[in-house]
Amino acid sequence: MWRAELHQLFRRTIVRVQLVVLFLIPVLLAVAVKLSGGPPAGRGPSFLDQVAGNGVFDALAGLTVCVPFLLPFTVAVVAGDTIAGEASLGTLRYLLVRPAGRVRLLAVKAVTVVVYCGAAALSVAAGGLAAGAALFPMGPVIGLSGTPIPLADGIGRTLLAAVVAGASLLGLAAIGMFVSTLVNSPVGAMVITAGLVVAALIVDNVPELAFAHPWVFSHDWLAFGDLLRTPVTWGGIVQDLALQAGYVAVFGAAAWARFTTRDVLA
């Protein structure tokens, strides 16, 4: 069942297109920097002004660009479709005929979304590293602390940054799955989840709502950049992952409570 769900997810055209687009975003950034020379130091998205000097930074710049908007929206599409998509197709009732039952089905769907979050973020990093290596020199990475980091270590930290970025989206994924248990329309679940992303970003950028910022699931999405410090500053990353764990616990429990008690008519 687990393998079948993962196979079904990654053979869907929309999921493949999303991963290709995510891969191409840092490629386009690299081409733009190659043609223009990149922005002046301190201008533009984080890490973008360093891409011309070291291709490793293209992956980090790609993550910085994709994490606030594009990555969350692709996760909203996948998470919103988990249960509502089956209900819309009329296959949910037949899936529940299996001996596995509702809890295992929900758990399998959750695992597929978790895998997608990691695959999506790693697609961005892979595209950035590939384009960076093709268009720019690759060498020791000058981290945010000004200390050189060996190339292999720098690439390893970049891939770890992608994993952290993917994990940062798990709270949103749990919200999307909960919404998916409430409605029978996958498009409706996707739109609601995407709308919550926009609302969270707005709240997180309103100074008058500073008291709420630490509790907004998007607040520390860019904490992965701290992996480029020497030594690594873990405070923001741990805070982000703890917040995501809280959202997963709350909305995962809500999804379980809703899904195990709802009437399945389709």
Whether the upstream peptide bond of residue 150 has omega within 30° of 0, thus cis, is no
DSSP string, 96-144: TTSTTHHHHHHHHHHHHHHHHHHHHHHHHHHHHHHHHHHHS----EE-T
Angle subtended at Cα 226 by Cα 59 and Cα 71, rounded to the nearest 5 degrees: 45
The predicted structure's pLDDT at residue 67: 95
Q: What is the pLDDT of residues 99-143, one digit of tens each?
A: 557 888 899 999 999 999 999 999 999 999 999 999 999 999 988
Give residue 72's pLDDT. 97
pLDDT value at position 46?
77
Mean pLDDT of the chain: 90
Q: What mean pLDDT do residues 31-52 have? A: 80
The model's pTM is: 0.92
Q: Tell me, what's the pLDDT at 171?
A: 97
Looking at this protein, which amino acid is placed at residue 43? Answer: R
Name every residue whose Cβ is closer than 8 Å to that of residue 59 and which is 6 or more positions away in sequence. 26, 124, 125, 126, 127, 128, 129, 132, 158, 161, 162
Strands, E, within the chain: which ranges? 141-142, 148-149
pLDDT 10s digits, 182-226: 988 999 999 999 999 999 999 999 999 999 999 999 999 999 999
pLDDT digit string, tens, across residues 75-89: 999 999 998 887 777
pLDDT average, residue stretch 48-75: 94
